[in-house]
Amino acid sequence: MMSFTSDAAIMFGLSLVSMILCAGLLVSWRALGGVRHALIWSGAFGLAAVQWAIIGGYNSFLPETAPTFIGSTWAGGAVSILLFMGFRERIGAPRRWALLVGIMAATAVLVGVTYWLGQAHYALAVPQFVRALFLPLAALTLVGRERRSSGTEIMAIIVLLGFAIFSAVVGFFRLTDCGCETNAGRAVLLTGLPVLFMGTGIVIVLLLAGDLARQLRIAARTDPLTKALNRRGFEEDCADALRRRGRAQAASIVLIDLDHFKRINDLFGHGCGDDVLRAVAACVRRHLRGDHLFGRMGGEEFALMLGRTDIHAARALAEQIRRALRDLAILPDGGRVTASFGIAAMGADGDLSAAIAHADKAMYDAKSLGRDRVCIHEGGDAAQPVRLAFAQRG
């Protein structure tokens, strides 16, 4: 006859939560374009659902057999390893599948050996110590390197470290075979385990939601063809960079407009035109530093904001890019891709619109002087007369 205990109710509850998380993460995997870490996390919670169901079963109506004990105990460690693998996949870290699968296999062997030796408390300690090892390693992947950790990532770090510490304490008591089977020990275990396990699932879902929101923000600010910033993204990033720079720090705006681009589309088709735009964007990127901003303003026009670069250094860089564009072998008839460049220094007031207007005027003067050249606007402010200097072609 079935005996349904409170322990079994908690285990079946965890199994149900795990199944919901598994399904939700599977949906996220599809929604995010097949990102592998969502699929790995879905697998981890799917395995956890089976684990909790088995434990709930032999706490109520199933006999505890060697296969069910070893399988459910091993699964506790395997879930932690899969979670860690998902966190590594999320940041694009090198995959160590063979090593991690080997650790899973070693965990299964260790659990089986200790159980057959009659040391079940040692076997129960194994997944706790595996969790105590791999969850902090997962938390390390959330520590900001190229960017500051988000609030959700900080919350995830706290939850993962808290779960790891809890598991280490439980593992110690399992190892010493004391405390866990007392009423107080069971109360702590059956309270802390569900809270921390569900907390881990919640922060993982929040991380995926944050990733999706970040992807949408990037898509809204990025030109899909060239992967450069679009006008909106370029102007926002320029405004942010100008807020951070000191007034004495030089900065320059460069506008690039491809020459006779309509003719390329008319002669070779829009597919060739798209190839040219992609090739030009890749060529420009190869000449930029980390603090340079690059955007496509529309059509065949691109823009650069060069931080810590005065107008003369900007002209030298523009000349390098101009010569590199002429060397692109992209047109079917072997013709050259050329561009006209306009450059303006950013004023001390940080007026981006004025600097772009000056660079735009210089660019159109480059067009009127015969194209395929660099012109600079040397006036610092809009009120000063515009004077253009022609940079001779190399």
Residues taking part in catalysis: 300
Interatomic CA distance for residues 379 and 311, integer angstroms: 11
Long-range CB pairs of 377-381, under 8 A, 24+ apart, other chains included: 377/342, 377/343, 377/344, 377/345, 378/311, 378/345, 380/345, 380/347, 380/348, 381/347, 381/354
- Say how many C-beta atoms besides its own lie within 10 A of residue 227's C-beta: 14
Interatomic CA distance for residues 93 and 91, integer angstroms: 6
Token pair listed for 316: 């030298």
Query: What secondary structure does DSSP assign to 42-53, as a single string?
Result: HHHHHHHHHHHH
Q: Which residues are CB-neighbours of 325 under 8 A, at least 6 positions away?
A: 280, 283, 337, 338, 339
Distances (CA, A) of 56 to 63, 65, 179, 185, 200: 11, 13, 21, 18, 20
- Say how many C-beta atoms besides its own lie within 10 A of residue 191's C-beta: 11
Residues 308, 250: contact at Cβ < 8 Å? yes
User: In 3D, which of 53, 70, 59, 61 has the Cα closest to residue 18?
Assistant: 53
Q: Which residues are CB-neighbours of 261 under 8 A, at least 6 positions away?
A: 273, 276, 299, 300
- Say how many C-beta atoms besides its own lie within 10 A of residue 281's C-beta: 18
Tell the burial category of 41 from Cβ atoms under 10 Å away from its Cβ (0-12, 13-18, 19+).
buried
User: In 3D, which of 319, 322, 323, 313 has the Cα closest to residue 292?
Assistant: 313
Please tell me the number of Cα atoms within 13 Å of 135 on its side-chain side.
29
Query: What secondary structure does DSSP assign to 221-238, as a single string?
Result: HB-TTT-SB-HHHHHHHH
Interatomic CA distance for residues 237 and 241, integer angstroms: 6
